[in-house]
Structure 1
């Protein structure tokens, strides 16, 4: 085992792979957010292909990658905190579970992994949430926005000055709630699929206790698909709450300057979204998100496993 410091630092070394994967799908990520928050009375983006064409036509090639710099900047601290927290939470939860009579030799179950993944996701998300809010706003603003955030630092200063410190955590509650199905299911499905493949060896896929990169990729893709689908409505509400009080995004206001994104809280956001736009509005942007999230999460998990192999860290927490 490596020390905690080296372990966190090593996980951060995955950032080149993650930045490449996130940059590759950045246009889809920006379109997803634009679809999530656009004013229903001023529709500009009607689908994946049309939306990408519209962004390219109105903002050029660089417009497809707006907000990607902030997204990449979040990768190192978010990934390091998340995976380190997952390992530590798993050890702690398993230790507590084994203290109960009859569970001395127990292994991590999918439910325990869900709890560890949820803890890790909440810690990592909370630590980097202000950057996520800024990323959302940089992504949504267009060349026609009345005023412009000039970058990460300028956006943070502007939000603090004009809206106060609490504004940096707008949408935090649905994010926390969404962590349980999203990050929790990601880890639970991924680890459980790996264990099942190793122990049952279905269809001759596994010939020894080591899984190939391709198999891990498939497990990560399956985990990402399940997690993002279940938690997606909460992601839509989070993005909409992040835009509340911000009038300078051309994509969320009408020509007369009115915004449809005025909510007093998470429940109010859910209620107004469904009442005014229908239940389907909770899944706006799901198509481009589905296209981009599977390779992104799968590559992240493979990078995680490769680093653990290089460090000589245990392959599965259940061992």
Structure 2
């Protein structure tokens, strides 16, 4: 993936050392990581209110006050009853985690893609999918605890008002395991999500912008398309992840004792059938279309402009 893929780079052989100062068609590794961090913060912060709604709509056994018929109705209800500030509760956790996590994410992606020949001409689906999967494994290991804190703060009736107090409370009540109980499920969701996202993005970008020059419009459209497809495909896993990450706040003993992905799937299916796995689909897609468009637009833009600034252009 590169904003200025004019000349395709050859795949590195086993004997060749990857040029980490020239990944992504001439973009140094540190530029990819800085751009990724800025893009991650932009992506998550802008769409955070919709993410709050997605979390609440996915919670099983929600109280009537936290039961919503749609995104617009949820926005009105939360704003009028709980105050508009509630829609931003937990955003600090995202900002603290998203920057470093996305730096690792995009840095790993560019390194692995270069090593597996993803910068060669044509659509290198296997390379981009593998690089994307590798990136998410590394980034989610860092981000998962922040995501747990974020979702606890997003829940209806949450008493947590700061990242630190929430982290202390979760640790005191449930131990360190609470921050990683959802990690296998998170990976089961984000690995295919990222593989689909990167593959669709690289394909769409090259179809829309065959000359592969820096083109903000093509990056945004390709990113939004990739986000929609990946979000829809992985929504059932996201419902299971939300159940595991918010189980400590549930009044349902079965949910509170859920210990992994398979158990979460069984609970969801037994309570609501296949329909339960569609919970939060609309706000999830609605979140990822603009956020993914913004993420890729920011990433490609930050890379391009930081590089141009360094060149003194």
> What TM-score do you get using the length of structure 2 for normalisation?
0.81
Aligned partners of 1:139, 1:11: CA distance in 2, in Å? 25
The answer to whether the Cα contact below 8 Å between 1:89 and 1:119 also exists between their aligned partners in 2 is yes
Q: 1:270-281 alignment to 2 at 5 Å?
A: 270-281=265-276
Residue 152 of structure 2 corresponds to 137
Residue 83 of structure 2 corresponds to 60
Residue 195 of structure 1 corresponds to 206
Q: Does 1:232 align with 2:210?
A: no
Residue 261 of structure 1 corresponds to 255
The answer to whether the Cα contact below 8 Å between 1:94 and 1:107 also exists between their aligned partners in 2 is no
Q: Does 1:12 align with 2:37?
A: yes
Aligned residue for 1:275, secondary structure, equals helix
Q: Does 1:220 align with 2:214?
A: no
1:208-240 CA distances to partner (integer Å, 9 max, x unpaired)?
442521122111111101111111111110110
CA distance 1:214–1:76, change in 2 (3 Å): same
RMSD over aligned Cα atoms: 2.5
Aligned residue for 2:275, secondary structure, equals helix
Which one of the candidate residues 262, 271, 288 is aligned to 1:293? 288
Aligned partners of 1:11, 1:305: CA distance in 2, in Å? 9
Aligned partners of 2:184, 2:277: CA distance in 1, in Å? 16
Aligned partners of 2:265, 2:212: CA distance in 1, in Å? 46
The answer to whether the Cα contact below 8 Å between 2:58 and 2:239 also exists between their aligned partners in 1 is yes
Q: Does 1:29 align with 2:51?
A: yes
Aligned partners of 1:283, 1:59: CA distance in 2, in Å? 26
* CA positional deviation for 1:48: 1.9
Q: 1:70-85 alignment to 2 at 5 Å?
A: 70-85=93-108
Residue 185 of structure 2 corresponds to 174
Q: Does 1:152 align with 2:163?
A: yes
The answer to whether the Cα contact below 8 Å between 2:209 and 2:215 also exists between their aligned partners in 1 is no
Aligned partners of 2:60, 2:78: CA distance in 1, in Å? 13
Aligned partners of 1:242, 1:216: CA distance in 2, in Å? 32
Residue 124 of structure 1 corresponds to 139
Residue 4 of structure 2 corresponds to none
* CA positional deviation for 1:66: 1.8
CA distance 1:39–1:259, change in 2 (3 Å): farther
Residue 39 of structure 1 corresponds to 61
The answer to whether the Cα contact below 8 Å between 1:70 and 1:135 also exists between their aligned partners in 2 is yes
Which one of the candidate residues 185, 188, 196 is aligned to 1:185? 196
Task: Please list every run of 5 or more consecutive structure 1 residues that lacks an aligned counterpart in the other structure.
Answer: 99-104, 200-207, 314-319
* CA positional deviation for 1:36: 0.4
Aligned residue for 1:218, secondary structure, equals helix
Q: Does 1:241 align with 2:244?
A: yes
* CA positional deviation for 1:305: 1.1
1:27-77 CA distances to partner (integer Å, 9 max, x unpaired)?
211011001014157562232222222212321111122222222222211
Task: Please list every run of 5 or more consecutive structure 2 residues that lacks an aligned counterpart in the other structure.
Answer: 1-21, 309-313
1:64-121 CA distances to partner (integer Å, 9 max, x unpaired)?
22222222222211211110010011122239xx9xxxxxx88662122111101101
Aligned residue for 2:61, secondary structure, equals coil
